[in-house]
Structure 1
Amino acid sequence: MTARTDPYAPPAVDEPAAERRDSAWHVEAGCIHVQDGAVLPAIDLETGGTNPALKPVERKFVKAHWSMGSVGLGPLLFLILPRHLKKWDAIPVGISMTVIAMVWLSVYLVIFLALSHRMTFTTYAHPVEEARRKRNKNIRGTLYPLSLVLLISSIYLLFKDTTAFQSTALTCMIVLSVIGMIAISLWQYKERPTLIMTLGSDGWLKLAGIHPDALRHLEDGRVTHPQTP
């Protein structure tokens, strides 16, 4: 016996959340879940704005492999080795340090490129704010390596001549490099994005820290944009 249907009941419709699960992104529990290569609607996720001046920007997520942590300890292990183990016969310690550093860097890059999990997705941001963010990122990306090179050069001079630490110039180099690295790290922490990205075990990238207005627009479907298949 077939069940009777109410002729006055409104027609059944599919839930939008279930429909969006078949696309490259969906909203769930106050977060946005995206797949690699997803294109989100034209809305600023950090401010909730829908300004027509918004431009598409590509965001990248990289999950480093756990082995990179152990490889990163290489320079620290090298520093605690006795001096006679840091040089080869008739080869200056500076050359041996350079060769070992290049080998360590090569291993580090191979592990990063081969084992790290990388994902990209496209969202929207105001061009002025995006230009400022990229400019500050480029400045930090230039100053931090310079500070690191200055610190490594100071350490090399110390290994070459332990009495060099008494030099005022060398002391200033070490102090400036350490202060510079700390200042740049604090600057980066202050300008960290509100968007928090976490890779789930199901392969979806979870975006948290979304502005409430952006979530409301996306859940209501008031902002549309062609999705990737």
Structure 2
Amino acid sequence: MEYRRRRQLLRVRGRSIAWVVPLVLLVAIVLLDLNTTERFRIISWIVLVPGIAAAICGVWTTAGFALVSVVTYVVVDSAWPGEYQAGLADFVLVALGGALATLASAVRVRREQEMLHVLDVAETTRRTVLRPLPPDWAGLEHAGVYLAADFDARVGGDFYDIQPGPHGTRVLVGDVQGKGLGAVEAAAALLGTFREAGYHEADLLTVAERLEVRMRRHRLHTAALG
């Protein structure tokens, strides 16, 4: 997921460095404002600092940058003669921008937490339907990567399994026609049947017939549900 990849980019040795970006912007704006003429006052651009923080930092960090931006604005603007000061209007802009940035950060963090929870549920579902297999399970060396069509969903209609038993090792690889929860349910039904029939039945034809019957029963059930 894009959010998790972005979090990794903003970490060094496990610690977040997202705060560096708005801090560098803050320092740059202050230095530029203090080292230019009165015709190029840009201290009000400091409203961008909490805005950037809202996109990549946590709520409290964003609130901290909002507060620091307001204080910095007052200090830097007061360093100029009265006729060159940005004034109250820009102060209100910076204060309001910081408040809105903090609110936006809270909304963003909450949505990301909800999304991570959904991804965890999807990952749990995938591991339940497609059980993890040891590298050399049942005398077979194997490796696989599961990539659902919808990456964020983490689970789809593709399925596979290796089932050791008294009649040998059986391997099943398949793809359910369709997508979404219906495809996952069908894959789970077939895998459950395969794990039992593949172990107990000596004839592969019987295993295939059991899978066919299970698929028909599943279709009857889904049709009855509409």
TM-score relative to the length of structure 2: 0.29
Higher strand share: 1
Higher helix share: 2
Structure number with bigger Rg: 2
TM-score relative to the length of structure 1: 0.29
